[in-house]
Amino acid sequence: MTALPNLPAPNPAPTPAKKSLFAPEQVRNALRSSVTKLNPRSMARNPVMFVVLVGSALTLYLTLANIATGKSWGYEAAITVLLLLTVLFANFAEGLAEARGKAQAASLRAAREDTPARRLIGGTLTGTEETVPSTRLTRGDLIVIEAGEIVAGDGEIIEGLASVDESAITGESAPVIREAGTDHSGVTGGTRVLSDRIVVRVTSQPGESFLDRMIALVEGASRQKTPNELALSILLAALTLIFLLVVATLPLMARFVGVEVNVVTLVALLVCLIPTTIGGLLPAIGIAGMDRALQANVIAKSGKAVEVAGDIDILLLDKTGTITIGDRQATRFAPLPGVTEAELAHAAALSSLSDPTPEGKSIVALAAAQGIKPTAPNNADWIEFSAQTRMSGVDAGEISIRKGAGSAVSRLTTERGGRIPPELQATVDEVSRGGGTPLVVLSGTHILGVVALSDIVKPGMRERFEQLRRMGLRTVMITGDNPLTAEAIAREAGVDGFLAEATPEDKMRMIKEEQAAGKLVAMMGDGTNDAPALAQADVGLAMQSGTQAAKEAANMIDLDSDPTKLIEVVEIGKGLLMTRGALTTFSIANDVAKYFAILPALFAAQLPVLAPLNVMRLNSPESAILSAVIFNALVIPALIPIALRGVRYTPGSADALLTRNLLVYGLGGIVIPFIGIKLIDLLLGVIGV
Amino acid sequence: MDIFLTYALAFALALPLGILIARLFSAPASRFTSGLLRLTGVDATRPMNWRQYGAALLGTNVLIGVAAFLLYSLQGGLPLNPDGIPNLRWDTALHTAASFITNTNQQHYSGQNSLSYLSQLVGITALQFITPAVGMAALFAVLRGLRGETNVGNYFLDVTRAIGLLIPASFVLALLLTSQGVPSTFSGAKTATLIEAQTVEGQAVTTQTIPVGPVAAMVAIKQLGTNGGGWYGPNSAVPLENPTPLSNLFQSVSIILFPVALVCAAGLFLRRRRFGVALIAVMSVMSAALTLGAVLSERQPNAALSGLAAASGNMEGKEVRFGTDATALWGAITTQTSNGSVNGMLDSFNPLGGLVPQLGMFLNDVYGGIGVGLINMLVFVILTVFIAGLMVGRTPELFGRKIETREIKIASLVILLQPLLVLGFTAATVALPSITANSNPGFHGLSQVLYEYNSAYANNGSGFEGLGDNTPWWNVTCAVVLILARFLPILGPLAIAGYLAQKKAAPETSGTLRVDTPVFAGMLLSVMLLLQLLNFAPALVLGPVAEQLTLSSPVNTGATK
């Protein structure tokens, strides 16, 4: 693996300015679409609300018939309006979720609109440049970007290296390095190149970037129901059919006992009984799940991916950047016998004086803390770290110090005619076992000792993993470290398992094994060689900074390239499923109160003996029915905030979650409508209906 | 006290019986059983997947049903018909065949004198052993699917095992009943001289012929097999069928014995005892509530006698030797299981007491029929898991296997069937008076019609009586309800279990929904009450509820009854 320039330590995900749920412009869009969605063809996608629409058409006809024949029509008209409002509220919820998703995506996309692009004619590196608007770029075009310019489209660097400011997309201000031929060769449209010149091959067609695809997913046209959404829709449709049967058979039985029931009231009863609350909010809940992913700067390629995230059993997490802070720090000098700690510290610090890496700086700092502050010799020749030599150091006169990986330094010692002290291996192992990376220091032909570089586990990770465990998730740390080091860090961080010296093949094998045992696996990756594993994983989250192959293979892309994002994605998925379950429970539980409101009212005039059933003591039959229908309609907009924000997922055992949600949405679902309907009834009484 | 004793005895016997059943269905076929089956050309060791199992179940039932239909239709010319009983009319034969192959024993023909001995013996008694065995077999096929086995067993082996269990159990019960004086003889009818001569239609009657026979044996399988069809027309209200309080206790216990034992067995068989306990708890809560409701209601005096000083409990249609409590208990548990036998007239219960059997049958899984009661409940377990599973933030799974579109489709179909058939036919019947023959108009008349279809759907077989139900309309519609309500709710869950078994099971973690906790049990109970009872609320309000309110309202006393 190529030595990477230091990527900035990922900060916690930038928190996008919390937008109000009801931003005026989005509300305007949603209002517009709540009317356009009345189109029967789009209504038919939602059987529950379609029944309400048909019901309102029926009551409208009866209203008009009553007007024509000179009968009273106020009640009929009121029901018609209320039913229509119920449909509009549901459409509004869906429209609002769409508008929020689009606004979110649009703000991400805004940067790259109308960016001039310098395209190489003929698509070859030697071609001459022409300037075209970014919207006319197609897949395979080569574009040149130099310092200070905006990247015109998603693509992959095929030549050069540059530091890129991705803050427009990620909110992260520190620049990152992107380089051709590495696992960090991807650039995103809208980001700004800060230094150097790169040539990028465009990888997306206009309108086909990941962002465009996500927008399309949010919008109605290409949105497909996810598997669980489909299953729930079928259950809701079945409940609707059952209540249709209940209501359709009712007048026949009523007539047998000498009661004629009002058709408008029957329609009102039907609409109150069918699960309009969850039926009306179901599409919004699904879209909102994708919105929330987008808010976390994650592009989901399908709604299904978000849904599956809730089911993940195992998280494969990269050690660096996720579990530990990116850089290792020197924590200890371990001299070999016959060498003092001060000698080792002096040599190690001297060789690191001009080492720009955090590791080098930490060695200098550690020595200084022990009072050892060497000064740089005049004629120093600094040897930088390279992937081939795996060493760095300094040559100055007869001073020649090297520090680096044990095997590389040992080889050099032998080459220089030195002797490998037998105690070295024990010291190296001891450092490894302590979770450190051993850095062997050689001065001339003498090995002085070992500097222990330790991974610093990010604060709070232990607790985080503890939470995940309570949620039933296992975490596995993936690292290139040797097993000794890996085990020590794994124990310190409190993960459930680790995969040491991991190759992409190892990851792939592990995923397949876990899947064979019925588990769902999520992983994050960025390299081309991660692509097969990303595709194999149930949730593959590719970093935006990663290669095109990785991004194509994954089913989600993290614009922040933040490895801890995987945990957030799981929480978003769980929140989405919980919202569906909670609102379904609420919707069905509501029926109890509605029965108590409407059934006595239905027969009140002709069967006064049924009066004792009117437990809520509602004013009049008309008022009872109107109150139930009004409550039924109002509950949809009242629940829009829950549908869009999602039921908050607090990590904990399934039992605890179920108990809490049942209390809130189950018991609440039974009690609240009794109170709500009674209040509306009182209010109607006051205004004299 | 009787009530408590009945439950205690049933539970005490059900546990060892459950263990026995679980062992029996886990063990490989005994040499005797497989040898027996080989005689009929069946290979008992051949495993079946759910489709093959379902096909075998459906196929044999169709064959038996057709044979029974032909037997009833042609009994006049067949042997063992010394009294020259004529053929049953085609529609009565159809209904009778449908009723007896579905473990229902709903009788539209009138009493003992409509069937020849051959019809009684082969067409009725044999089926009383076979149909509970079919239910038990189906249950274990479903359970094997839920255990993750794609081969859900061998249908013929399972049925044979179950029959092998029912025969000795019936034998024991028959001995106990005989000890209480239930006739157990092959000798002919007895003739007794009346103490007081009567005059009937102008003729003096001085003697009475008392039919006897192997009554105890028949009563034993009637109770143990959740069958319900008695030897005598008035069922276990007749002193000869149920002479003493002790015989009443035996019979009450045996009504719920197998249904409870099967839940115990299921918990053990699934290797999930706590889940078994949770199911029993849910069933028992419903059972206790319904029984209590019936008992309290029947302790109230009959509305017609209200205000009289002597009025005690409602004794109309009850046997004095049992009293109101034992009769109310029987009425409650006979409809909680799909038994349907009676020791008093349900029609004469106070309206709210009469509501209890209706509720028990609407639920159809308060213990439920042998095998099928638990299968019914498993459908609601799946629906509850679907909603509860979402609430814990995972796509729903039962025992680690995902419940997806296909399973929900099948479960939806099954729960749709009940309101479709019961409400649909009730509405059609009351809306088309020209083809129905309701002896009672008004609220009570509606209750009767609703009861008949409800009883048919629950494969219960008890009747609200007073219904002229031996007409082509009643026979054909009830036959349709009986058959669909028996086989779709068996085959649907069997398919669900089969599909689930094909899925990979995810390991259970602390993030997995547990189905054996009190919280889940409470939710299961609520879902069942919401999804089943609420559907019938309007019909019940117009029937028994309106009747009760009318009777108890001072203005309208006795208006419709």
Q: Does A519 touch chain B (CB under 8 A)?
A: yes
Q: How far apart are CA A186 and CA A158, in angstroms?
A: 10
Q: With beta carbons under 8 A apart, name residues in chain A contacting B523.
A: 658, 662, 666
**Residues of chain B found within 8 Å of residue A613, distances taken between Cβ atoms:** 541, 545, 549
The answer to whether the beta carbons of residues A143 and A117 sit under 8 Å apart is: yes
Query: Span B374-397, mean pLDDT?
Result: 90
User: B438, B467 in Cβ contact below 8 A?
Assistant: yes
Are the C-beta atoms of residues B385 and B402 closer than 8 Å to each other? no
CB contact A607 to B (< 8 Å): yes
B558 touches chain A (CB under 8 A): no
Candidates B517, B520, B541; nearest CB to A610? B541
d(CA A281, CA A633): 12
Select the residue from A234, A249, A577 to test the B interface by mutation, using most B Cβ atoms within 10 A.
Answer: A249
Tell me if A317 sits within 8 A of A563, measured CB to CB. Answer: yes
pLDDT at residue B144 greater than cutoff 90: yes
The band of B264, judged by pLDDT with boundaries at 50, 70 and 90, is very high
pLDDT for position B438: 58
Question: Mean pLDDT, 10 residues at a time, over chain A (689 residues)?
Answer: 37 44 78 80 84 92 90 88 91 86 72 70 78 78 83 82 73 71 78 82 72 65 76 92 92 86 89 90 87 83 83 81 72 86 87 78 86 81 74 83 84 86 85 80 87 79 80 82 81 85 81 85 77 85 77 82 78 89 92 87 79 81 90 91 85 83 91 92 82
Residues 6+ apart with CB under 8 A from A625: A79, A265, A268, A269, A597, A598, A601, A602
| B317-365 tens-digit pLDDT | 788 888 888 888 888 888 888 888 888 887 788 877 888 888 888 888 8
Interface of B with A in 298-357 (CB under 8 A): none
Place of tokens 């067409």: B123
CB-defined contacts A:B, below 8 A: 211
Q: Contact at 8 Å (CB) between A329 and A359? A: yes
- Put simply, whether A686 touches B (Cβ < 8 Å) is no
With CB atoms and an 8 Å threshold, state whether B443 touches A257. Answer: yes
- A230 — contact with chain B (CB < 8 Å)? yes
What is the model's pTM?
A: 0.82
Known catalytic residues of A are 318
Q: Which residue has the higher pLDDT, A154 or B256?
A: B256
Average pLDDT over residues B435-444: 70
Q: What is the DSSP string of B431-463?
A: H-GGG--BSS-HHHHHHHHHHHHHHHHTT----
User: How many CB atoms are located within 10 Å of the residue A114 CB?
Assistant: 10
Residues of B in Cβ contact (< 8 Å) with A662: 388, 391, 519, 522-523
Give me the residues of A, 332-391, that contact B with CB < 8 A.
Answer: none
Instruction: Tell me the C-alpha distance between B207 and B196, whole Å.
Output: 10
- For position A6, what pLDDT does the model report? 39
**Contact flag B539-A520 (C-beta cutoff 8 Å):** no
Strands (E), A407-445: 436-443
- pLDDT for position A214: 64
Provide the residue type at A267 as one letter: V
B10 vs A112, which has greater pLDDT? B10
As to burial, measured by CB atoms within 10 angstroms (0-12 exposed, 13-18 middle, 19+ buried), residue A361 is middle
Q: Decide if B165 contacts B27 (C-beta within 8 A).
A: no
How far does B367 lie from chain A, in Å, by closest CA?
24
Of A181-195, B375-389, B419-433, B447-461, the one with minimum mean pLDDT is: A181-195
Residue in B with minimal Cα distance to A230: B405
Q: How far is B514 from chain A (nearest CA, A)?
A: 7
Q: What is the DSSP letter of A183?
A: S
CB nearest B512 (choices: A258, A472, A582) = A472
Nearest CA in chain A to B384: A585
> How large is the average pLDDT for residues B550-554?
66
Q: What is the pLDDT of residue B560?
A: 33
Question: Average pLDDT in the B195-199 region?
Answer: 78
The rounded mean pLDDT for chain A is 81
Length of chain A: 689
Query: What CA–CA distances, in Å, run from B322 to B244, B247, B319, B463, B491?
Result: 8, 11, 6, 20, 40
Burial of B79 (0-12, 13-18, 19+ CB in 10 A): exposed
- Residue A202's closest CA among A188, A183, A190? A188
Minimal CA separation from B496 to chain A, in Å: 14
β-bridge partners, A328: A455
Cross-chain residue pair B405–A231, CB shorter than 8 Å: yes
pLDDT value at residue B311? 56
Residues of chain B neighbouring A471 (CB-CB closer than 8 A): 393, 510-511
Query: What pLDDT does residue A1 have?
Result: 35
- Cβ–Cβ below 8 Å for B514 and A655: yes
Partner A, chain B 366-395, Cβ-Cβ below 8 Å: 383, 386-395
Q: State the burial class of residue A318 (Cβ atoms within 10 Å of its Cβ: 0-12, 13-18, 19+).
A: buried
